[in-house]
């Protein structure tokens, strides 16, 4: 669905272009060269690996681009998602870690985790390469937020001994019946990487990036967030759109 939306958006932008040379590689106007407002639809995804439960992060990022070299921004993100496969949990209720796709200890019970998370970030981007067609940037950011999660489709691990199964069943009933919100806490992510921006049209720039993300504070889903990530975004240049559509005179350069 996301890919279809992006293709339709690019098709609409292309139809508004006078010629292919205007559409491809047409940079933003020089009137925004010193200081330019940017708005990004920001979708983030974990790499799908053996040791993680992949998550999709949705959000927005707004910022100011200064002299086409530095960008200062803030972002707002949220997750409301159930894991696509079952995870293992110990008798203490904590998630059992994986190594090479195998549990490092025998889980007492299994279940899908429904995670709700929201957080904000402050971010800085330094531009390494800026030419007619691409930008290559180094983004760095740190965030702060809160999370809560609950178990769904939970069941006792059938590989346990009978007496252990009974104990696990008692623990699972206690968790699922007493409080749907199994755990909650503070989330502080730190990440850095490389971002490639394609200048397909001066109204909107698609962006892809990758890097490493670290959850600074301990959490029950820490293993799902520590590691490499990839990131898909769209930069929308509202100043260009406004002056193109309404044919206003450009403002004094900031």
CATH of the domain at 146: 2.40.160.20
* 216: containing domain: 35-246
Please check whether residue 139 lies inside any domain of the structure. yes
Please, which residues bridge with residue 58 across strands? 43, 78
Please check whether residue 200 lies inside any domain of the structure. yes
Q: Give the pLDDT score at 23.
A: 38
The structure's pTM equals: 0.67
Instruction: Please check whether residue 133 is in contact with residue 127, taking contact to mean a CB–CB distance below 8 angstroms.
Output: no
pLDDT, averaged per 10 consecutive residues of the chain (254 residues), comes to: 45 39 43 72 68 73 89 92 79 74 81 86 94 92 89 81 78 66 79 92 87 79 72 78 70 44
Q: Give the pLDDT score at 221.
A: 61
Q: Give the pLDDT score at 24.
A: 40
Q: Give the pLDDT score at 99.
A: 73
Q: Give the pLDDT score at 180.
A: 54
Q: Give the pLDDT score at 254.
A: 39
Please check whether residue 27 lies inside any domain of the structure. no
Q: Give the pLDDT score at 159.
A: 79
Whose structure tokens read 């008798």? 91
Instruction: Please check whether residue 155 is in contact with residue 180, taking contact to mean a CB–CB distance below 8 angstroms.
Output: no
- Rounded distance between C-alpha atoms, residue 80 and residue 148, angstroms: 10
Please check whether residue 120 lies inside any domain of the structure. yes
Please check whether residue 126 lies inside any domain of the structure. yes
Please check whether residue 29 lies inside any domain of the structure. no
Number of domains in the chain: 1
């Amino acid at each position: 669905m996301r890919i279809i939306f992006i293709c339709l958006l690019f098709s609409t932008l292309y139809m508004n272009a006078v010629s292919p040379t205007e559409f491809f590689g047409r940079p933003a106007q020089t009137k925004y060269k010193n200081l330019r407002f940017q708005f990004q639809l920001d979708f983030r995804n974990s790499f799908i690996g053996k040791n993680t439960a992949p998550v999709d992060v949705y959000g927005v990022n707004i910022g100011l681009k200064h002299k086409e070299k530095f960008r200062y921004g803030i972002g707002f993100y949220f997750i409301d998602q159930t894991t696509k496969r079952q995870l293992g949990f110990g008798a203490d209720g904590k998630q059992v870690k994986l190594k090479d796709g195998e549990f490092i200890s025998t889980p007492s019970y299994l279940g899908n985790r429904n995670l709700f998370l929201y957080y904000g970030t402050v971010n800085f981007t330094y531009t390494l390469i800026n030419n007619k067609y691409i930008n290559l940037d180094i983004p760095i950011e740190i965030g702060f937020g809160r999370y809560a999660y609950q178990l769904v489709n939970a069941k006792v691990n059938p590989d346990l001994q009978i007496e252990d199964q009974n104990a696990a069943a008692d623990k699972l009933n206690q968790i699922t019946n007493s409080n749907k919100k199994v755990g909650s806490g503070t989330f502080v992510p730190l990440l850095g990487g490389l971002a490639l921006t394609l200048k397909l049209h001066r109204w909107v720039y698609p962006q892809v990036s990758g890097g490493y993300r670290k959850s600074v504070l301990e959490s029950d889903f820490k293993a799902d967030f520590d590691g490499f990530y990839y990131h898909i975004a769209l930069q929308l240049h509202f100043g260009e759109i406004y002056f193109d559509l309404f044919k206003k005179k450009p403002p004094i350069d900031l």
